[in-house]
Amino acid sequence: MKSLFSLALLPLAAIAGSTSNATSKCRCLPGDACWPSTTTWGQFNKTVNGALIKTVPIGSPCHDPTYDAEACAALQDAWKLPQTHYQSSHSVMQAYFANQSCDPFLAESRPCTIGNYVDYAVKVSNAQQVAAAVRFANDHNIRLVVRNTAHDYFGRSTGAGALAIWTHHLKSTEVVQWADKLYNGPALKLGAGVQGSDAIEFASTHGLTGVSGECPTVGLAGFTLGGGHSPLSTSYGLGADQTLEFEVVTAAGRIMRASATENSDLYWALSGGGAGNFAVVTSMTVRAHVTGKIGGATLALAAGTDTEAFYTAVTKFHELLPAMIDHGPTVVYLLTGAVLSIKPVTLVNSTGEYVRDTVLAPFTDYLTKAGLKYTVSYTTLSFHDHYELYNGPLPYGHIEASQFQYGGRLIPRSVLENDNASFNKAIRNLTSSGLVLAGSSGTFKSYPGVSNAVHPAWRKAIMSMQMGTLWDPKRWDDMLADQKKITNVYMPQLIAVTPGSGTYMNEADFNQPNWQEVFYSTNWNRLLSIKRKWDPKSLFYVLKGVGSEDWSVAADGRMCRAY
């Protein structure tokens, strides 16, 4: 498939629409003879009970002829907030994939085009509307996109000339009792639009917890379908390990269920094999847990003026990390050339005192003896309050949108145990180059008898490590250069010290070479077979998803069969 770098270099006018006729091998774009007429779109809108939304680019108040200085300033101020984008039917949080389409930070006189945004979206409130959108896209040869919050590093929730199924308003929540051969106990049935904050608030009112991500605004469906690491992963596993049943709409427009006993192949693929690619999930039922108090902590160590002492301490932290994890916590940390920030330690059914005296004591003792200044605090809270303190404030949290470009790697435990020096040499090189590194550390075991499409490298990993370079919308060419550095300079350094491992597909470099192996490993052939069975015409397409090699996306956004 062609690189999306070519898309970034194309003038916006070309992306806005093509006047060439689509062939039977290509999806239709606005301006093609095969593009549905206004009347046809109007009829479809009646079919979905008025839920069809025609895209008006979110940045239009910042450009002529609709420029509004006050509205533009307000949009610019809110641009980093996730809710700015997930409350939109078309905006994306990874700014590159908007391709500067009506960018609010560019010149007022610059044309405002739909560009790489979806042309239409259906604000679905039930599975019947989803099925109608699937049939319409099939019947009219239109690119179909599934989007919820647009928390996505690969641009999978957008696409030129696309019709989006916008699942964000499928917000149903219910506690159910589940009983089958794999699990007997409380479960949460969640609509596909439920976000982490929704699930945390709902579950806590019932004395339960569910596995969700470190960012409360992330949609739980996409999180779970891609694997999903969590502050609770050491205790309960990945998001994909929680799944009991999905309600879906297939590429044929059929509404059905998938579980370990019904359509089990589709259930297996949906549990970690990637979002938006095998079927449209309208709800999922996942395990719920009764969780006692959480032992928590946060620690910050600044580099100060003694760089050698700082990196020696970072090396010591990684040396001690396997023993920390053996006590049962999940440890999330941020590392730059200026600071090591552990935020937070999350230990289920424990106390802050235990975290202080047992989990972190070897590291804090080392820091004290080395004469290094650090700050540390400990807490004993309910999970809801622990999450609110460290990942909140709910519902929006503190993680901003459109701030970084990413790469990622699953770091095997054996690397820290047997080759810690090489690992720390690599991360020192990366942070010295200005990268931000984030480690989500723990154990990521599944439940007995559970089989799913989670990358096998997760089961041997001690962490998923992300790398990020800062994003600046006004320095487009520099941002493209940084993308190439991530792929060709930075990621190879982590890969070199983690041979045979892989990458968490939800937090990865979208230009990753050899992506079938890196993202899917030994699951690839089975996933491809399931894709061919359930989506034989390859209606569902996501960049670097299983079966995406069937398509090539050209510089003008036109999507055509690759062969």
Residue-wise pLDDT tens digits, 53-94: 999 999 999 999 999 999 999 999 999 999 999 999 999 999
User: What's the chain's average pLDDT?
Assistant: 95
Question: Taken in order 195, 201, 204, 205, is the CA torsion positive or negative?
Answer: negative
Please provide the CATH number assigned to the domain covering 294-520: 3.40.462.20
Predicted local confidence at residue 16, as pLDDT: 35
Q: Are 68 and 199 in contact (CB under 8 A)?
A: no
pLDDT-derived band at 17 (thresholds 50, 70, 90) equals very low
CA-based nearest residue to 503, from 520, 478, 489, 528: 520
Q: Do domains 5-168+533-561 and 173-291 have the same CATH topology?
A: no
Does residue 253 surpass a pLDDT of 60? yes
Does residue 5 surpass a pLDDT of 80? no
- d(C-alpha 326, C-alpha 319), whole Å: 13
| One-letter identity of residue 133 | A
The string of DSSP codes covering 70-125 is HHHHHHHHHTTSHHHHHTSSS--SSGGGGTTTT-TTS-TTS----TTS-SEEEE-S
Residue-wise pLDDT tens digits, 261-296: 999 999 999 999 999 999 999 999 999 999 999 999
Domain boundaries, the chain: 5-168+533-561, 173-291, 294-520
HSE, CB side, 13 Å, CA atoms: give it for residue 42.
3
Per the DSSP assignment, residues forming a β-bridge with 289 are 209
- d(C-alpha 236, C-alpha 213), whole Å: 13
CA-based nearest residue to 550, from 562, 559, 533, 558: 562
Residue-wise pLDDT tens digits, 315-331: 999 999 999 999 999 99
pLDDT-derived band at 555 (thresholds 50, 70, 90) equals confident
pLDDT cut 70: percent of the chain above it? 96
pLDDT-derived band at 4 (thresholds 50, 70, 90) equals very low
φ and ψ at 258, to 5 degrees? Answer: -140, 125
Query: Who's near 137: CB < 8 A, 6+ residues apart?
Result: 143, 144, 163, 539
Q: Are 26 and 559 in contact (CB under 8 A)?
A: yes
Class of domain 5-168+533-561: alpha beta
Fold of 173-291: 3.30.465
Predicted local confidence at residue 21, as pLDDT: 42
- d(C-alpha 444, C-alpha 322), whole Å: 13
